[in-house]
């Protein structure tokens, strides 16, 4: 009997992994902190090992600090930021619930898509991309639609705008509405006070201002949100992201649900330790100072920002593409000549802006100087 040759090892083996030294100044991921990379490479223990359970506890405590919340239910979800986004809707939404979503960028549209899949009756409020909602607009939306949930994007990664949240929860309480907030590009980089601002549900990602690779995603629910979730008439329609089951793994019972991403939890723990070590106020101030240095440099080059100064995100800047410049060609040239990643615009801003992130470990003056010099060369 003729057997095919197994002697093809040379062709089957890929060469040793060698990744270019990119400086990631796009909308995310940002470069992970060296200490986070070191933590990721630590040997594994099991996901029910007492040592790992302690790491889980550490992550919960550190996340509460980063978010400025006392919420008991605060965990990292196994998956990227979009998994935590989906988890809030899968758990919080029941078929027929009216959900009001603020649409002023790409991620508002993603919330609409997800909420509809879970049977929500979606209503929307619109603002041009790069603008934010006023309290009056939010009040009018709540009065008209009387939703179970109001979803707002705190830091809109597609536009670089930061939605003010003070006063929103007070309005929500008048209508029995839960406030859901996307803090993917703000956690660890932009002032954020979940409890003081009355946020009921929030999610984030690891790869932006926390300087950890993507793959694990913070999620938090307060008591109001947990009451709604625990009193659902129907099961959570997503097994993997069912927090009524996952809560037993992260809570006192430690009941197996799925194998947690061990090393990602190591990485997140180190990332959050770095936040606590630096101090939130200091970290927010650093992101602001680095962004202002960048904005000044752009102005001196004759380049302008898309978002009004008072609503501009320190972690993500949208820079207007000058007349007659090919935005894609600039992105390619920065990558090929200088190993710098920036991104073009999404959706309504496609071709009109560049999206430039100065997040976490990358929020440093030397990166601003380097980027401005490279941009100057490329625009010549």
Query: What is the model's pTM?
Result: 0.96
**99: its two tokens:** 């959900």
The DSSP symbol for 131 reads B
Q: What is the CATH number of domain 34-276?
A: 3.40.640.10
CA–CA distance, 77 with 81 (Å, rounded to integer): 8
The domain segmentation of the chain, as residue ranges, is 23-30+279-379, 34-276
CB-based contacts of 182: which residues, under 8 Å, 6+ apart?
85, 107, 111, 151, 152, 153, 154, 155, 202, 203
Q: Is 113 exposed, middle or buried (0-12, 13-18, 19+ CB in 10 A)?
A: exposed
Do you find a cis peptide bond into 125, omega within 30 degrees of 0?
Answer: no
Phi/psi region, residue 167 (left: phi>0; alpha: psi -120 to 50; beta: rest), is left
Query: Digits of tens for pLDDT over the chain (380 positions)?
Result: 666 666 666 667 788 999 999 999 999 999 999 999 999 999 999 999 999 999 999 999 999 999 999 999 999 999 999 999 999 999 999 999 999 999 999 999 999 999 999 999 999 999 999 999 999 999 999 999 999 999 999 999 999 999 999 999 999 999 999 999 999 999 999 999 999 999 999 999 999 999 999 999 999 999 999 999 999 999 999 999 999 999 999 999 999 999 999 999 999 999 999 999 999 999 999 999 999 999 999 999 999 999 999 999 999 999 999 999 999 999 999 999 999 999 999 999 999 999 999 999 999 999 999 999 999 999 99
**207: its two tokens:** 């790869």
Listing DSSP states for 15-81 in one string gives PPP-----EE-SSSPPPPPHHHHHHHTSPP--TTSHHHHHHHHHHHHHHHHHHT---SEEEEEES-H
**Max Cα–Cα distance, the chain, nearest Å:** 80
Query: Which architecture characterizes domain 23-30+279-379 according to CATH?
Result: Alpha-Beta Complex (3.90)
């Amino acid at each position: 009997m003729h057997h095919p040759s197994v002697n093809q090892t040379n062709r089957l083996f890929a060469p040793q992994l060698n990744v270019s030294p990119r400086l990631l100044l796009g909308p995310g991921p940002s470069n992970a902190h060296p200490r986070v990379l070191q933590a990721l490479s630590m040997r594994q223990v099991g996901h029910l090992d007492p040592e790992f359970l302690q790491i889980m506890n550490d992550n919960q405590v550190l996340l509460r600090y980063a978010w400025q919340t006392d919420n008991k239910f605060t965990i990292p979800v196994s998956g990227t930021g979009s998994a935590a986004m989906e988890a809030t809707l899968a758990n919080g939404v029941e078929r027929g619930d009216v959900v009001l979503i603020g649409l002023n960028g790409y991620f508002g549209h993603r919330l609409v898509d997800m909420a509809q899949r879970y049977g929500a009756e979606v209503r929307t409020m619109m603002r041009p991309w790069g603008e934010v909602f006023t309290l009056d607009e939010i009040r009018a939306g709540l009065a008209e639609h009387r939703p179970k949930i109001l979803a707002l994007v705190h830091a809109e990664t597609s536009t670089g705008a930061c939605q003010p949240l003070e006063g929103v929860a007070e309005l929500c309480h008048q209508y029995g509405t839960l406030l859901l907030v996307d803090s993917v590009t703000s956690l660890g980089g932009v002032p954020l006070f979940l409890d003081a601002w009355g946020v009921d549900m929030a999610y984030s990602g690891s790869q932006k201002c926390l300087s950890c690779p993507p793959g694990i995603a913070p999620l938090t629910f307060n008591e109001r949100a947990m009451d709604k979730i625990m009193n659902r008439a129907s099961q959570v329609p997503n097994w993997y992201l069912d927090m009524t089951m996952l809560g037993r793994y992260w809570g006192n019972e430690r009941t197996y649900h799925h194998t947690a991403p061990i090393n990602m939890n190591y990485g997140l723990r180190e990332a959050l330790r770095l936040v606590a070590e630096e101090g939130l106020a200091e970290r927010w101030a650093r992101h602001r100072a680095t962004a202002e240095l960048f904005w000044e440099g752009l102005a001196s080059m004759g380049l302008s920002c898309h978002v009004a100064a008072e609503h501009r995100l320190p972690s993500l800047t949208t820079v207007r593409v000058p007349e007659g410049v090919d935005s894609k060609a600039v992105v390619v040239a920065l990558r090929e000549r200088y190993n710098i990643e920036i991104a073009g615009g999404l959706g309504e801003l496609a071709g009109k802006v560049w999206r430039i992130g100065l997040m976490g470990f990358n929020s440093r003056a030397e990166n601003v100087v380097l980027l401005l010099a490279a941009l100057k060369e490329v625009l010549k």
